[in-house]
Amino acid sequence: MKVLVVGSGGREHALCWKLHQSPSVTQVLCAPGNPGIASVARCLAIAAEDIPTLLQCAQSEQVDLVVVGPEVPLVMGLADQLRSAGFAVFGPDQAAAELEGSKAFSKQIMQEAGVPTAAFEVHHNADEAEALIRRWGAPIVVKASGLAAGKGVVVAEDVETAVAAARDMLSGNSFGSAGAEVVIEACLRGEEASCLFIVSGDTIVPLASSQDHKALNEGDRGPNTGGMGAYSPAPCVTPAIADGVLEQIVRPVIATLKQRGIHFIGTLYAGIMLCDDGPKTLEFNVRFGDPECQPLMMRLQSDLGTVLLAAAQGTLEDVPLQWSDESAICVVVASRGYPAAFNKGESIKGLSDIEAQGATVFHAGTAMKDGQLVNNGGRVLGVTASAPDLAAARETVYQALSALRWQGAYYRRDIAHRALT
């Protein structure tokens, strides 16, 4: 079959890489893709949010399956439009994508489904938000309800920080309409894990466990980013915890959506806090995590094309998932300065030496300029490797990274520390 992948990040590179290896897939297209993706897919210069042109492209290329990587086109309704035109699509409709697109909606569904999550209130008015924050006290969490590229959450250790964050969001200054509604939550403590599921109607298939590092700096300190690294499996997600997340969180949420006439097809990502009194849901995303997708794809042994097509067509129960026993790790290489301002257009070399040492380089924010590979975004590369155990995988990845020749590179040297200490 011919598959069109929408997106241009490390996640989409890992998906295209795996689809390219899938016996069921004859051709991979990617819109818009990036220079790394171009080695495993035919890239088409169409933005991931350009729904009319993507629809035309799916038609003219006669693709058999469309896989939507990022959340923005899903929340805009790309999957709905493709399905109406008769295409098999892996990715939820707009109504289901609201689980990620609106944190207020997501919390309401969690409440209705009776799943464990932090106590919350939704506010639209700054004075009322402030009154609640002062009543509850710190620590407290303030979230822009809409999409904010991983930057719309403030975990405030004191009341004034929380009040300032809520006022800033509600004024529209930092997040525009995404901040017009805020969710104020009780602060949970514990270790975090990502539990991903492939969902197709009533069929819910868990993926292998994984954990990411959102903080910029070593020791999980500093500002939050889109993700600085990830690994799989995550030892803190025991089989009992994984089962609890499936039965007590994901199944009830999917059932509650169904009662509202909303059918979920795609990846459901539950962000979980492992609290002393059991797992609690921090959030839902409606797509693969980036960078969690990279180690997951490295460990997946099944034919990804078959799995995603089956999910799109409602026959997922017939397709078991197989995972390698190995551990995989992805270290994100970012532009120095990210998530604040950084330079673009710096030359990046040494990638073939990295790969010669047994790692795979997934591209995210790269571009070609005058025939040279340069950085063109905040998160630039996802250097990924697998090995019989996590310590060996980490050794491979960091050893390989010593071959990177790019002055402006920044990466954490402690990815997976929580699983190894």
Among 14, 118, 234, 380, binds ligand ATP (CB under 6 A): 118
Give the nearest distance from C-beta 371 to Mg ion in angstroms: 37
Q: CB of residue 329 vs ligand ATP: minimum separation in angstroms?
A: 18
> How many whole angstroms separate alpha carbon 99 and alpha carbon 110?
10
Kindly state the smallest distance separating residue 192's Cβ from ligand ATP, in Å. Answer: 6
Q: Does 51 bind ligand ATP (CB under 6 A)?
A: no
Q: Does 141 bind ligand ATP (CB under 6 A)?
A: yes
User: What does 188 bind: Mg ion, ligand ATP, none (CB cut-off 5 to 8 Å by kind)?
Assistant: ligand ATP
Residue 230, φ and ψ in degrees, nearest 5: -160, 160
What's 377's DSSP letter?
S
Give the x-and-dash track for 207-226 against ligand ATP (CB under 6 A).
-------x------------
Q: How far is the CB of 405 from ligand ATP (least distance, A)?
A: 30
* Residue closer to ligand ATP (CB basis): 285 or 294: 285
| Cα gap 327→163, rounded to integer Å | 42
Taking CB under 6 A as the rule, does residue 348 contact ligand ATP? Answer: no
Cα–Cα distance for residue pair 289/194, rounded to 1 Å: 8
> H or E segment at 170?
helix 159-171
Please enumerate in sequence order all residues whose Cβ is within 8 A of that of 151, keeping only pairs 6 or more positions apart, or say none: 224, 339
Q: Nearest-CA neighbor of 285 among 12, 31, 102, 141?
A: 102
Residues 101 and 109: their CA atoms lie apart, in Å, by: 13
Start-to-end CA span in the chain (Å): 44
* Residue list 170-209, contact with ligand ATP (CB under 6 A): 185, 187-188, 192
282 binding partner (options Mg ion, ligand ATP, none; Cβ < 5 to 8 Å by kind): ligand ATP
Rounded least distance, CB 224 to ligand ATP, Å: 6
Query: What minimum distance in Å lies between the beta carbon of 283 and Mg ion?
Result: 5
| Interface size with ligand ATP, residues (CB under 6 A) | 16
Q: Which of 271/358 has CB closer to ligand ATP?
A: 271
Q: Using the rule CB under 6 A, give the single segment among 75-83, 235-243, 279-287, 398-406 that binds ligand ATP.
A: 279-287
**CA–CA separation, 196 vs 258, rounded Å?**
19
Provide the pairing of β-strand 221-224 with 215-217. Answer: antiparallel
Residue 48 to residue 112: CA distance in whole angstroms: 33
54 binds, among ligand ATP, Mg ion, none (CB under 5 to 8 A by kind): none
Binding mask 266-285 for Mg ion (x = CB under 5 A): -----------------x-x
Of the candidate spans 91-99, 151-159, 248-256, 335-343, the one that interacts with ligand ATP by CB under 6 A turns out to be: 151-159
Kindly state the smallest distance separating residue 71's Cβ from ligand ATP, in Å: 8
Q: Tell me, what DSSP letter sits at residue 114? A: T
Short-list 312, 310, 321, 315, CA closest to 90 = 312
- Choices 145-153, 172-180, 297-305, 404-412 (CB under 6 A): range interacting with ligand ATP: 145-153
Q: What's the token pair of residue 93?
A: 């409709």
Inter-residue contact 196 to 189 (CB < 8 Å): no
Please spell the DSSP secondary structure of 56-111, one letter per residue. Answer: HHHHHHT-SEEEE-SHHHHHHTHHHHHHHTT--EES--HHHHHHHH-HHHHHHHHH
CB of 240 vs Mg ion, minimal distance in Å: 25
Residues of this chain that interact with Mg ion (CB under 5 A) are 283, 285
Q: Which residues bind ligand ATP (CB under 6 A)?
A: 118, 141, 143, 150, 152-153, 155, 185, 187-188, 192, 214, 271, 282-283, 285
